[in-house]
Amino acid sequence: MKDVVLTIFLVLLGTAVFSQTGQTGSIKGKIIDAKTKEALEFVNVSIRTKDSGKTLVTGTVTDSTGVFHLSRIKNGTYILSASYIGYRTLEKEFTISSKERNINLRNLLLEEDAQAISEVQVVAQRAQMRFEIDKKVFDVASNISQAGGSASDILGNIPSVEVDNEGEISLRGNSSVTIWINGKASGLTADNQAQILEQIPAESIERIELITNPSAKFSPEGTSGIINIILKKDRKAGYYGSIQTGADTQGGYNASANINYNSGKVETYLNAGYRQRKSEGEDNTNRTNTDEAGNPVSYLNQKGKSDRNGSSVFVRAGITYNFTPKDHLSLEAFAHFGDRKSDNMIRYESNVPGSFTTSERLTHSKNSSNGNNINLDYKHEFNKNSNITARASWDLWKSDGTDTYKQHSFYPEGKETASWQQQESDNRSQSWEFQVDYVNKFSEDSKVEAGYKGSLSNRKSPVETYSGATEASAVLDELLFNKYIYDQNIQALYATYSTKLNQFGVQVGLRGEYTDTETKSLGYGEHRSEVKPYKNDYFSLFPSVFLSYSLPKDNEVQINYTRRISRPRGWQLNPFVNMTDSLNISYGNPYLDPEFSNSFEVNYIKNWEKHTLSLSAYYRNTDDVIQRIRYREGDVMKSTSANITRSSSTGAEIVAKNKFFSFLDITTTMNLYYNKLDGFSYTPEGTDTPVTGEKDDNFSWNAKMIANAMLPYAISLQATGNYNSRRIIAQGHRKSNYSIDLGARKSFFNRKVTFSVNVQDILNSRNWHSVTSGNGFRQDSDSWRKGQVFRFTLSYNFGNMKATPKKQQRQQNEMNGIEEEF
């Protein structure tokens, strides 16, 4: 072991030494309006060679403070071009040499082009998607087709992401994905994320980041990667805000407001939103019971309808105090409060011997939930290349629910039965996170990062059930009483080192995590001290390696490898036997182990002036895959979770961004992947007959296209199309589906007022159809929500968007690393 550590150290040391010889440099500056002296964001900045061909080398856009920064530029003389709609293009010559590698152009003045402004008014719109070295970033403000929706609606229109009928999220066809808010869990777990994301309004989100193969710096949870939702927090100087309201054709409506203030020394913001949402859905399931030879012997069919409505309040506030240009203290908090009601009706038909011929089951559910998050951050900058940040975070999530079931059944020869049940649940989840991160840049292209993260979480899920023929005769059902307790502590250390030698870049990292879990499932009358817990403690190492090579003519190739983990979800571990539906019984498995996967990825990126092409190939193998299995005992269908097999996935992702005719922007993503599940044989506890699954493989693909058109008179149009092909699941497959969303936006009064209209699922085609089979059964299930939902949204922007006084502006420039031009 010592020899391995020494070898790694020597390799890193040698790489660091050689990296200092790289003949590359950087350039930075700030774009401002020549007349108002205000910073201009989203200005296109490009660098071309000075020769007659003027080949494009690289490019970027300015941030919210007007700043741009481009690095890894070879020695030579270039032309920098800054262009923005309504302004004259600015060009400036500069030279990168061994004597002057890091150039600061300071303030560059853009002058208005009066003729261009008088000819046509065109809406400037941020790019829908951009590439960064370790992630893809999607701008939510540009997503017109989901205006007035929720975080779940936004995710459903992100390339490579799918959201199913129950709110479960998949990335590249894999549901083992971690969801973050502002770079941390923020109380989200696999058990509650669907409910929480439904409550977060789309207008509170700034951007969404897809990190498909995160380095050792990030949590390794989620075998398919991380989706990071970044909420809005503007750092521009002055005070400003917006008010938004909207409604849809299903009876839903929403309203929100936000205000920001930044004096340079103090930055504050406050966001608040309210949403009322209604939806309808249907589902059908046809089950055929078979004998040992696979011949049909009976059937059980069901048809269901559901009406759902709910409301939620989302509040977020924060303050940052800049003690000095190098010391920053931030306090942030957000809370969400919501309630949901749903009415479901299921009609059964059956010819199972001894069972009913027809039955009707009515379910009425009421659920209230609220979550709170408080986050304290401190950042100290030792110098412009070195800093340390510390964070403490606390989360609390509560969910109370009551489900009432009424069932009326008819049997042969005129017999009738009736039953009444009410199930009450009270879920609590609390967690603490402590994190410290250190960054030190040795040069423009070499840096080391290291840190610690501790996560402490506790969940309690008590359930009480009352059963009887009628509500008046119902009593506490001891068999359906359960109190589930789940504790999980994770302690992690990580270190990464990155450097670049000419065109070759490398980043290596290692993360170590110790996980301590303890679960208890208490039955009626049992005390916590009387039940022996199930414990699972383990230590895991997660290495990561990232390699990149810059090819001529603005081409780049990236290769990376990471090890990932997917820990079992709380409901998968709970051994409580849920018998509320006597014909469909489910229970968890406390002996589940985590899934471990090895993920490899190769990326190629090519940039042209108006086009970008990204090609990715990936391979992922996973051990101890957790799957939901179903088996029949008599006339009852049972289901549980188990580590039953091994899987592998190979795929390719193609992303093309194209700009046509200066007003049309099209982003096309296609994901092609091959999944393979090994065969398995699993014998559930208490049974003698094993559940088996044959080896299965499948080629699947999905595609998304987002088209944005920016028209005169401040009009924007957007169309989003999705298609998912057939894919395999445990014991079966899911059929293909597709959908189309449309949106339009018009701005008034110098873009102070904006009106949007969009329609979701215009073809009413967004459904989920699965076919499964196993020992003694074949089952066909189909579910969908009512589509063709029209939304209307009106926004008003207000405030002082001018620059801060000269002294405060100078301080802001110092924080951004830009020198003031006198």
Q: In CATH, what number is assigned to the domain containing residue 22?
A: 2.60.40.10
Q: Which residue type, as a one-letter code, is found at position 220?
A: P
Q: What is the CATH number of the domain that holds 146?
A: 2.170.130.10
322 close to 815: Cβ distance less than 8 angstroms? yes
Q: Which domain holds residue 112?
A: 2-119
Give pLDDT tens digits for 170-201. 887 677 788 888 877 766 666 667 777 777 77
Q: Find the helix or strand (DSSP H, E) in which 535 lies.
A: strand 534-551
Q: Is residue 822 in a domain?
A: no
Judged by average pLDDT, the poorest of 53-57, 186-190, 388-392 is 186-190
pLDDT score recorded for residue 393: 93
Total residue count of the chain as it appears in this document = 822
If you average pLDDT over every residue of the chain, what do you get? 82
Note the pLDDT tens digit of each residue in 213-230: 888 998 898 877 888 888
Q: How far apart are CA 33 and CA 792, in angstroms?
A: 34
Which of 94, 119, 144 is the last residue in one of the domains?
A: 119
pLDDT per residue over 468-521, tens digit each? 999 999 999 888 888 889 999 999 999 999 998 878 889 999 999 999 999 888
**How would you classify the pairing of strands 226-231 and 178-181?**
parallel
The verdict on 225 and 368 lying in the same domain is: no
Mean pLDDT over 640-646 rounds to 87
Domain co-membership, 309 together with 285: yes
For residue 557, give the H/E element and its range.
strand 555-566
- Domain membership of residue 783 (yes or no) is yes
Residues 6+ apart with CB under 8 A from 795: 203, 242, 243, 244, 753, 754, 755, 756
Summarised one tens digit per residue, pLDDT across range 522-548 is 888 888 888 888 898 999 999 999 988
Whether 247 and 227 map to the same domain: the answer is: no
Q: Is residue 673 in some structural domain?
A: yes
State whether 67 and 151 are in the same domain. Answer: no
- d(CA 594, CA 627) in angstroms, rounded, equals 12
Instruction: Indicate whether 595 and 565 sit together in one domain.
Output: yes
pLDDT band at 63 (very low <50, low <70, confident <90, very high): confident
The H helix count followed by the E strand count for the chain is 6, 45
Which band of pLDDT confidence, cut at 50, 70 and 90, is reported for residue 13? very low
DSSP 665: E
Given a contact cutoff of 8 angstroms between Cβ atoms, the answer to whether 773 and 728 are in contact is no
Q: Give Cα separations from 384 to 28, 266, 689 (angstroms).
A: 14, 21, 66
Instruction: Return the higher-pLDDT residue of 462 and 166.
Output: 462
Q: How far is CA 414 from the centre of its chain?
A: 53
Does residue 820 fall inside a structural domain? Answer: no
Same domain, yes or no: 532 and 407: yes
Give the pLDDT band of residue 801 (cuts 50, 70, 90).
Answer: very low
Which residues are CB-neighbours of 387 under 8 A, at least 6 positions away? 379, 380, 381, 438, 439
Q: Where residue 640 sits, what CATH number does that domain have?
A: 2.40.170.20
Lookup result for tokens 């559940």:
691
Residue 610 has pLDDT above 90, yes or no: no
pLDDT exceeds 50 at position 820: no
pTM of the model: 0.73
Flag whether 819 is in a domain: no
What pLDDT, on the 0 to 100 scale, is given for residue 822?
Answer: 25
Tens digit of pLDDT for each residue in 235-283? Answer: 555 677 788 898 988 888 889 888 888 776 888 888 888 988 888 888 8
Q: Which of 119, 145, 161 is a domain's end point?
A: 119
For residue 50, pLDDT over 90 is answered with no
Indicate the residue type of 512: G
**Burial state string for 260-281 with b = 16 or more CB within 10 A and e = fewer than 16:** bbbbbeebbbebbbbbebbbeb
Predicted confidence band of residue 466 (pLDDT cuts 50, 70, 90): very high
Task: Centre a 10 Å sphere on the Cβ of residue 771 and count the other Cβ atoms it contains.
Answer: 16
pLDDT tens digits along 111-128: 876 554 443 344 444 556
Pairing verdict, β 504-522 and 482-501: antiparallel
Cα(first)–Cα(last) distance of the chain, in Å?
A: 58
Contact call for residues 173 and 675 (beta carbons, < 8 A): yes
CA 804 to chain centre: 35
How do beta strands 691-693 and 680-682 pair?
antiparallel
User: What's the structural domain count of the chain?
Assistant: 3
Distance CA 113, CA 87 (A): 5
Judged by DSSP in three states, 598 sits in strand
Q: What percent of the chain has pLDDT over 90?
A: 19
Q: What is the pLDDT of residue 133?
A: 58
Single out the residue in 86, 119, 152 at which a domain terminates.
Answer: 119
What distance in Å separates the CA atoms of residue 163 and residue 761, rounded to the nearest whole number?
A: 13
Residue 679 and residue 621 share a domain? yes
Residues 398 and 270 in one domain: yes
What's the pLDDT tens digit per position in 319-344? 999 888 889 999 999 898 889 899 99
- Nearest in space to 24 (alpha carbons), one of 97, 109, 110: 97
**Tokens representing residue 70 in the block:** 């481009």
Query: Two tokens at 737?
Result: 């589906």
Q: Is residue 617 part of a domain?
A: yes
Inform me whether the pLDDT recorded for 818 exceeds 70.
no
Residue 370 domain-assigned (yes or no): yes
Which has more confidence, 211 or 496? 496
Tokens in use for 422?
């009410």
Nearest-5° Cα angle at 656, 650 to 659? 175
Contact between 101 and 25 under an 8 Å Cβ cutoff? The reply is yes
What does the block give as tokens for 708? Answer: 């944005």
40 & 157 share domain: no
189 & 334 share domain: no
pLDDT at 146: 67
* Residues 248 and 181 reside in one and the same domain: no
State how far the Cα of 121 lies from the Cα of 129, in Å rounded to an integer. 24
Do 162 and 66 have their domain in common?
Answer: no
The answer to the question of residue 89 being in a domain is yes
Kindly indicate the confidence band of residue 785, based on its pLDDT and cuts at 50, 70 and 90. Answer: confident
**Contact in structure between 583 and 635 (CB atoms under 8 Å):** yes
Rounded average pLDDT over 81-100: 83
Question: Phi and psi at residue 592, in whole multiples of 5°?
Answer: -65, 140
